[in-house]
Amino acid sequence: MLCLMSGRSHSSMTRLMFLAAAVFLLSAAASASQGDKEPVYRDCVKQCVRTNCTGARLRGFQSSQPPYMALTGWTCRDDCRYQCMWTTVGLYQAEGYSVPQFHGKWPFARFLCFEEPASALASLLNGLACLLMLLRYRSTVPRQSPMYHTITAFSLISLNAWFWSTVFHTRDTYLTEKMDYFCASAVILYSIYLCCVRTLGLRRPAISSMVGALLILAFTSHVSYLTFVSFDYGYNMAANATIGMINLLWWLCWCWLNRRILPYWWKCGMVVLLLHGLALLELLDFPPLFWVLDAHAVWHLSTVPVHFLFYSFLIDDSLHLLNTEKPGVKLD
């Protein structure tokens, strides 16, 4: 369960088009940034690499580099880019210009080996909240509950995504970026499967099996395109937004239909509305406060409490299903 929204279909489509346009503009900024196009920045990096990243100076850099920096893959060239980024930011501010982005990202003050400290911490907290609530779910809900294994699998996929999100915000590399994006897509697609199983698959297992196969095919195609054809930020974000909107509308319809049957239905509706509402924080896209806290970090921090409400719903619903799974009793 990840995405949601309420309202009529026309309103939903209008918001979807707005979100798709917004993520396209954000992704366009990621492919080329003002800061790294500046001659002063490029000349600074070239001069720094030429002076410090060869021969004895390189050996000196490597011998004095803290172990945690070496283990996370920080190179002499990376350090030059970091130092020259702040030189360029200083020149921009001295001339009264707004802070530019570099390589699709705002400038962040590095803490130890953490490239984006606030986002890394927020991802870690989300992962810990997910793990804590998964343990509570497994200790509260018997394995015989119809949704037990599906929810456990969803939680493990979510934990994997938060792990890679933490790694990516700690150190942005080709591998960590891909894993962060792909694992996030896996969560969004599996949330559709979770919704399908809960709303249709318990009475019609063949439907959930067919949807599961289609989602696996969609995920494989999505990853293959991004890996072997083009790592298109706009396409990736628009695809995730579209799947999320389907998930949103599906869950809200289920909540509305069961509002008089299930006393805890509001928890589900609140979770999906919160998740989609909070995602709009990403659109603020302001320079990081104190060079640490940006809109992306605020978004991730804001989702930490949602895990507790989400799993409260899952526990209530799983126990309800366990109690109603009797001959002649209709599953909701």
Query: What pLDDT is stored for residue 326 in this prediction?
Result: 53
Q: Is the pLDDT of residue 5 over 50?
A: no
Token pair, residue 179, equals 């894993």
Q: Tell me the β-bridge partners of 105.
A: 102
| Strand, helix or coil for residue 289 | strand
Structural contact between residues 108 and 290, judged by C-beta atoms closer than 8 angstroms: no
Mean pLDDT of 82-102: 91
Q: Is the pLDDT of residue 250 over 70?
A: yes
Phi and psi at 83, nearest 5°, equal: -65, -40
Q: Is the pLDDT of residue 42 over 80?
A: yes
Q: From CA 37, how far away is CA 62, in angstroms rounded? A: 28
CA distances from 64 to 33, 99, 108 (A): 32, 31, 23
Mean pLDDT of 198-210: 90
- Of 315 and 285, more confident: 315
Q: Which of 9-13, 74-78, 277-281, 309-313 reaches the highest mean pLDDT?
A: 309-313
What type of residue sits at position 67? Answer: P
Q: From CA 238, how far away is CA 244, in angstroms rounded? A: 10
Mean pLDDT of 248-260: 93
Helix H or strand E encompassing 242: helix 233-257
Q: Tell me the β-bridge partners of 114.
A: 111
Q: Which domains does the chain have, with CATH numbers?
A: 34-95 (no CATH), 111-325 (1.20.1070.10)
Answering whether pTM is above 0.85, one says no
Query: For residue range 184-201, what is the model confidence (pLDDT) as tens digits?
Result: 999 999 999 999 999 998
Ramachandran area for residue 8 (φ above 0: left; ψ -120 to 50: alpha; else beta): beta
- The pLDDT > 70 percentage for the chain reads 88
Helix H or strand E encompassing 159: helix 148-170
Residues in the chain: 332
Q: Which of 94-108, 144-158, 236-250, 315-329 reaches the highest mean pLDDT?
A: 144-158
Q: From CA 110, how far away is CA 170, in angstroms rounded? A: 9
Mean pLDDT of 95-109: 89
Token pair, residue 101, equals 């982005």
